[in-house]
Amino acid sequence: MRIINIINLKGGVGKTTTALEMGYILHHKYGYSVLLVDNDKQGNLSRGMDLYTDSGICPTARLLSGEPVQDLIHRDGIDTIAANMSLLTATYRLTSGAAANATGRYRGLRKARTRTGNHTTT
């Protein structure tokens, strides 16, 4: 399994487009299993995968809260864990309080990585 993170604090630099295109190419051209995790409260990757909903707590927020990753993946060729504005509240909760405690909570993503099987995570 390979994990690819596309990160930049600046908006409008092509992070979402890069993730979508890379996932598409890895899956459709090379036959890899791909898991895209939308970790942006705006949910543009989720919109690109036609999975965005503005109601309820999004799967990425639920993942960060400790829910089993298997229950959160939308499986349709390229597997996706979607996001929306509820991710803002989940991120705030993770980062509030003692730094050590917040760091420990981010381990939910590491655990999720080991439970997804043979996926490339972006």
pTM: predicted TM-score of the whole model, two decimal places: 0.78
- With beta carbons less than 8 A apart as the criterion, state whether 44 and 21 touch: no
| Average pLDDT rounded to a whole number, residues 29-55 | 96
- With beta carbons less than 8 A apart as the criterion, state whether 81 and 40 touch: no
**In the predicted model, what is the mean pLDDT of the chain?**
85
Mean pLDDT is lowest, of 23-32, 50-59, 90-99, for: 90-99
Tell me the C-alpha distance between 64 and 67, whole Å: 7
Q: Within 10 A of 63 (CB to CB), how many other CB atoms are there?
A: 24
34-37 and 120-121 strand pairing: parallel
Mean pLDDT is lowest, of 17-26, 78-87, 88-97, 102-111, for: 102-111
> Does position 99 have pLDDT exceeding 50, yes or no?
no
Q: Binning pLDDT at 50, 70 and 90, where does residue 53 land?
A: very high
